[in-house]
Amino acid sequence: MLKTPIGRFRAVALLEGLSFILLLFIAMPLKYLAGMPLGVKLVGWAHGMLFVLYLLLLAEVAAVHRWPLVRILGTFIASLVPFGTFVLDARLRREDQSPTEPAAS
């Protein structure tokens, strides 16, 4: 999975999506309902780092595979929607597993 740009991006996208879910559905309720802010601090920091890495790897994949702007924007938006990166992963998995087609002449 980590041998291709799409594979590396998929791995980080899954971790970024997981950190977003943890932040929204565990850390934030603990902070606001139980008065335990440490979870938001720790998970939020990790999520921020993963988000930056997500954007860097998105730029790499977009450049290597010459993605159109619409696809880049859709992939970016997937990171902003809860569970979006998991839906994105299903699509990218098929692309990462398919053999590279030769360029048309």
CA distance 24 to 27: 6
65-90 confidence digits (pLDDT tens): 999 999 999 999 999 999 999 999 98
pTM of the model: 0.86
pLDDT at 98: 64
Q: Outline where DSSP puts E strands in the chain.
A: none
- What are the pLDDT digits (tens) for 14-36? 999 999 999 999 999 999 999 99
Three-class secondary structure assignment of 42-59: HHHHHHHHHHHHHHHHHH
Q: Residues with Cβ < 8 Å from 6, sequence gap 6 or more?
A: 61, 65, 92, 95, 96
